[in-house]
Structure formats: structure tokens, C-alpha cells
Amino acid sequence: DIDHLNLRVQKELVEWLNWLKADIGFDGWRFDFAKGYSADVAKIYIDRSEPSFAVAEIWTSLAYGGDGKPNLNQDQHRQELVNWVDKVGGKGPATTFDFTTKGILNVAVEGELWRLRGTDGKAPGMVGWWPAKAVTFVDNHDTGSTQHMWPFPSDRVMQGYAYILTHPGTPCIFYDHFFDWGLKEEIDRLVSVRTRHGIHNESKLQIIEADADLYLAEIDGKVIVKLGPRYDVGNLIPGGFKVAAHGNDYAVW
């Protein structure tokens, strides 16, 4: 165990971080198991090493109902993520992985896409409250891969990417999906749509429809994304939009 309250430990870790920055060329940090030490400690390391980007892994359980599925209201869960960023310094480079969105997406793509509209009409994860500080993802080395601790439904992974790569927040692509699953071209197409239309972490999200079999949203008035098996949505797509990417149960205009 590391005693992060020990001043010598803090000094040596800060020196190491600054060496990684100056000599090796790293410019950002990932704080593993960030719930294992206080945000005040993380703030020390960020303030004294000044990375351009920092992201924390704060993986806690969502609130579940008697049916074993996440409750519709996950405000307490996403508030934990917001609180961490607040304490570390909301104006600095600190962000957190949006585990709230991950947990909701896992279930939503299994025929419960209504979950993607929160009770306030916004996105239900951290990305709905503070998108500039939310790092969205479909799976990572813990949840997917060989550890397989909380995997995304494997046949619906591209629906997850269609969501995070068109929405506000800072999307994170999983190495396994990109290089090992044969999804590189599909993911690349979505990335190019995001880049071409300047979708960014604070883009404006308008949710048009959120039913069991259809989620439809418009981002910055430039991009429309559809998730779900419902095919006939032509009457909901404004004129002038053309399909730019599509796959199993998703499409992007």
C-alpha cells in the first residue's frame, strides 16, 4: 500500500510524474482505482505536474432494482463522479470515466432504449450533467477483454460506439474492439463523422425519441444518430440529412 498522505511519497510521485512528462513525453494521466484515495490527493498530483489531461477511474455500483436492472434514476451515481471533478478542480484538466453511461448503455441496447433519456430529458449518465468532464466508453481492460467483469453485449458493441462517438463527452475507444474484433473500419467511419462535423465534448444534444426499440438524437443540429431495430424513421429525419454510417441496428445521418 502507498501512503498518499506521506509528504515524501507525494514529493517523489510528483517528481516521477514530471520526469514522465519532461523526459518521456507523456502529457496526461489515468488515475487507477481513484476511489481508493481522496480527491484532495489527486489534486496535489495534478496541480504539481500540470498534465494537459487527466482521467480518473471511479468504478462504483449503480443503483439496482428488484429485477436486477439499473434504476432509471442514477443521480447519486453520477453525482459521485461530478463531486470528484469538483474537488480536484473543475477548471483544470481533470475528468472521470463515465461509468454511469456505461452501465445504462449495457442494458439499454438490449431492447430498453428508453433508458437513454433521463427524467430531465437529458442523457442519463454523467455526460448529461457535465459532458466536458465525462470520458465515455463501451468497454475497457477490466469490463471486457479477458477479465470480462462487466462486458457490453458483444453483438451490440457498435450501437455503443454509435452512441458515444456522436454524443458530447470525450469518447474512448477500446483497443480490443478496434484491433482484434474487426471493427476498425466501422469505428473509423463514426470517428470521421465526429471529426468532420466538429462534434466535441460540449456539443448540444437533443433527444428526439427514446422508446424500447428506437433511440434517436440530434447533435449540434449537424448529426442524427439512431439506435435500435426500428427501421421506418424517415418521418423523424429532417430534410437534407443523408446516411453517413450504418450497421447492425444503428445509423448516422
Q: Which residues are catalytic?
A: 32, 57
Sequential DSSP letters for 166-200: TSSSEEE--HIIIIISS-HHHHHHHHHHHHHTT--
Total residues found in the chain within this entry:
253
Q: Which residues contact 134 (CB under 8 A, 6 or more apart)?
A: 81, 95, 96, 98, 101, 125, 126, 127, 168, 169, 170, 201
Helix residue ranges, H only, the chain: 7-19, 39-49, 75-89, 99-108, 157-164, 175, 184-196
Name 56's bridge partners: 31, 96
DSSP letter at 148?
Answer: -
Q: What angle do CA 170, 172, 175 make, to 5 degrees?
A: 165
Compute the chain's Rg from CA coordinates: 19
Secondary structure class of 204 (helix, strand, coil): coil
Distance of alpha carbon 77 from alpha carbon 81, whole angstroms: 7
